[in-house]
Amino acid sequence: MSLLSVKNLSARFGAFTAFDGVDIELAKGSLTGLIGTNGAGKSTLFSAITGYITPSSGEVKFDGHDMLPLSIEKRVEKGLSRTFQVPREFSRLSVFQNLMAAPPNQAGESLAKLFITPGRVRRQEAELAERADSMLQFLNLARVADTPAGSLSGGQKKLLELGRLLMLEPSCIMLDEPFAGVNPVLVEELSQRIVELNQRGITLLIIEHDLASLSRLVPRLYAMDRGRIIAEGKPSEVLADPRVREAYMGGVI
Amino acid sequence: MEFYLIAISISVLIYMLMASGLSLQYGFTGLVNFGYVGFFAIGAYTSGLLSLQGVPLPVSFLAAMLLAGALAYPLGIITLRLGGDYLAIITLGFSETVRILLMKEDWLTRGVHGVPGLPRVFDDWAGVSSGDLTLLLLLLVVNIAVFALIAYLVRSPFGRIIASIRDNEVAVRALGKNPAAFKTRSLMLGSALAGLAGAFQAHYVTFIAPEQFVPLITFYVWIAIIVGGPNRILGIVVGTIILLTFLEGSRFMRDFVGGVSEVQLASVRFFIIGMALICTILYRPNGLFPDKFSKGK
Ligand SMILES: Nc1ncnc2c1ncn2[C@@H]1O[C@H](COP(=O)(O)OP(=O)(O)OP(=O)(O)O)[C@@H](O)[C@H]1O
Ligand SMILES: [Mg+2]
């Protein structure tokens, strides 16, 4: 059954077409990659699916709901989440507090509840702190828990952003270049984590330029070029596709 | 001398209340409110006019806070969806609109003549001399309570979200939280504090007039929190004291030097304030007391 279904989606900025007639289907619990040369429109496609830009035409359905009329926040509430190509950490908050900020429906976010039920707020904070701690372990960030997120390395920021999303417990995660700037050992480890998440039932769509790591990780790939999906299927098939090879100028893969 | 010390301390503490509210908005949430004095004016006039109708002061003070806070709501709703820059302009317009309404709506506010004869806070039972001292103590207690409130808020999940908004609003949306809702609440809380400060001011000076609520007051409060450091309580305290020391000091300077007109003095004041701001931004961009994560940036 399809969890995310994108049909004939197009986005234009004035005369410039960022992407055109894109169709993507993600089955519930699937793990899928999205590749494409620089400027192919991958990140912009993510932005259109998650509500940061308004597409000029087409359809985005998630879990049976029409997503296009919904705000970014409402889409996240439905379980559709994303990371950004350039990490957007809360720079002056500690790594730990970055994670604590994420979970939805915190009692302590309501001014009334802060004063009427402080006990409940404290209990919830303690629960969340435990989850944040194990997330820090999971992502190898425990050592920098109290560091301001702004002073993390580029790769650590990527990990933090992933961790922040996971604190939301979303049903679908779209990752924009999770391996960029992450060292090879950690890429392996991160791939392992992604598989574990997928085994827990989370649907993932991953943009990545590290084609080798990505094709080892995902069973299915989409390839994009100049705003269009040019191939889809098993990684080996997609990477062998002449159009894909041409888009990557022959030599690279 | 003793009277003078009490008087200046009262001014410091009234400004400190305002600085607390503005630092909640700017230092802790990142909201740029250039019309802060508008909420101070609303508080002063609300409590002042109500008290003349025989409303007891505790009630009129409460009304001042509630009205100032409530008026921030529509401003928040209109501007906070549009992003940061609009808020600065719209709030500045708001405070000037408030001042012009206070000048023009004679039937309610007596216009430019102002409203004299407001009741003082403790005179009824403490007498004029110890009344001021009692007021000073009350202001001290109120300020400490406000600091405690701010400290509790900024360490709470609510405080975490407003700090996140200050750092990266888009990422807050990516977490499924609506920044406008949080920003509106911070704006309302900070404005309510300005309203409370206004009520204290009105019943301390016993006279309110539109000319007391010019944009310059907004910028004084801004200077206090920028010099002190906008997201530390110590910064609020020290920044306010520095500001008032300077404002009072420049008055003395005129007596001391002699032959300086009020207009000339005002220009010198502006010059020094401008220099102080430039130096702060150049050498201590996060104020004298930056929060621990802003150091070295
Ligand atoms: N808001 C915008 N206004 C105008 N053009 C835009 C906008 N957003 C994206 N574009 C353009 O759309 C094109 C696709 O950009 P996008 O970021 O989606 O590429 P990408 O496939 O993610 O590339 P990369 O692999 O380099 O990240 C680019 O040419 C970009 O300049
Ligand atoms: Mg991209």
Determine the average pLDDT of the residues in B151-176: 94
Q: Name the amino acid, one letter, at A77.
A: E
Integer angstrom CA distances of residue A148 from A11, A94, A99, A122, A142? 37, 4, 12, 23, 13
pLDDT at B17: 97
The rounded distance, in Å, linking the Cα atoms of A215 and B94 is 57
Q: Determine if residue A81 is left, alpha or beta; phi over 0 gives left, psi from -120 to 50 gives alpha, anything else beta.
A: beta
Distances in whole angstroms, Cα of residue B152 to Cα of each of A144, B27, B30, B123, B145: 25, 15, 18, 34, 11
Instruction: Report which residue type is found at B76.
Output: G
What was the pLDDT predicted at B107? 85
Please write the tens of the pLDDT for every residue from B128-146: 667 888 899 999 999 999 9
Of residues A155 and B23, which shows the higher confidence score?
Answer: B23
Query: pLDDT-derived band of residue B266, with 50, 70 and 90 as boundaries?
Result: confident
pLDDT score of B104 more than 60: yes
- Lowest mean pLDDT segment, chosen from A184-188, B157-161, B167-171: A184-188
Residue B199 in 3-state DSSP? helix
Q: Indicate the DSSP class of residue B154.
A: H
* Average of per-residue pLDDT across B20-47: 95
Note whether B170 contacts A: Cβ–Cβ < 8 A.
yes
Domain annotation for chain A: domains and CATH numbers? 2-89+168-247 (3.40.50.300), 91-151 (no CATH)
How much is the pTM?
0.88
Q: Which ligand is nearest to the CA of A47?
A: 1
Task: Mark out chain A residues that contact chain B at CB-CB < 8 A.
Answer: 50, 52, 71-74, 76-77, 81-84, 88-94, 97-98, 100-102, 104, 106-111, 114, 121, 125, 148, 150, 164-165, 168
Q: How far apart are CA B237 and CA B224, in angstroms?
A: 9
Asked whether the predicted pLDDT for residue B124 surpasses 70, the reply is no
Q: Enter the tokens of residue B28.
A: 């802790």
Q: Number of helices (H) and strands (E), helices first, in chain A?
A: 10, 10
DSSP 8-state assignment for residue A144: G
Cβ-Cβ contacts under 8 Å between A and B: the total is: 94
**Shortest CA distance to A223 belongs to which of A11, A40, A98?**
A40
Strand A220-225 relative to strand A31-36, pairing: parallel
* Structural domain boundaries, residue B54: 2-213
Among residues B205, B243, B245, the alpha carbon closest in space to that of B224 is found at: B243
Q: Lowest-confidence range among A21-35, B82-96, B145-159, B257-271? A: B257-271
Chain A residue closest in CA terms to B28: A92
Q: Establish if B153 belongs to a structural domain.
A: yes
The answer to whether position B247 is within a domain reads: no
Question: What's the mean pLDDT in B190-198?
Answer: 97
Residues of A in contact with B176 (CB under 8 A): 72-74, 76-77, 81, 104, 168
Whether pLDDT at B105 is above 90: no
* Structure confidence at residue B297 as a pLDDT band (50, 70, 90): very low
CA distance B123 to B130: 8
pLDDT digits (tens, 9 = 90+) for B231-263: 889 999 999 999 898 888 777 776 776 677 777
Distance CA B211, CA A204 (A): 61
Q: Each residue's pLDDT tens digit in chain A (253 positions)?
A: 789 999 999 999 988 999 999 999 999 999 999 999 899 999 999 999 999 999 999 999 999 999 999 999 999 999 999 999 999 999 999 999 999 999 998 999 999 999 999 999 999 999 999 999 999 998 889 999 999 999 998 888 989 999 999 999 899 999 999 988 888 888 888 898 899 999 999 999 999 999 989 999 999 999 999 999 999 999 998 988 888 888 886 545 4
The tokens describing B47, both together, are 């409590």
Looking at the structure of chain B, the number of domains it has is 1
Instruction: Give exposure, B193-227, as e/b (b: 16+ Cβ within 10 Å).
Output: bbbbbbbbbbbbbeebbbebbebebbbbbbbbbbb
| ipTM confidence | 0.88
Most A-contacting residue of B24, B26, B161, B177 (CB-CB within 10 A), to test interface: B177
Where are the strands (E) in B168-294, listed by range?
A: none
pLDDT at B295 over 50: no
Q: Could you read off the pLDDT of A208-252 as tens digits, one per residue?
A: 999 989 999 999 999 999 999 999 999 998 988 888 888 886 545
Residue B176: inside a domain: yes
Distance between CA atoms of B75 and B131, rounded to whole angstroms? Answer: 37
Give CA–CA dist A51/B212, Å, rounded.
47
Distance CA B61, CA B45 (A): 10
Dist. CA A238–CA A230, nearest whole Å: 9
Give how far B257 is from chain A: nearest CA, Å.
Answer: 46
Q: Which two tokens stand for residue A27?
A: 């089955």
Does B177 contact chain A (CB < 8 Å)?
yes
- Report the share of chain B in percent with pLDDT over 70: 92
Determine the average pLDDT of the residues in B276-290: 77
Report yes or no on B225 lying in a domain: no
Pocket test of ligand 1: the residue of A17, A43, A52 to mutate, having most ligand atoms within 8 Å of its CB, is: A43
Average pLDDT, chain B: 88
Report if residue B249 sits inside a domain.
no
Nearest Cα to Cα of residue A24 among A13, A38, A14, A35: A35
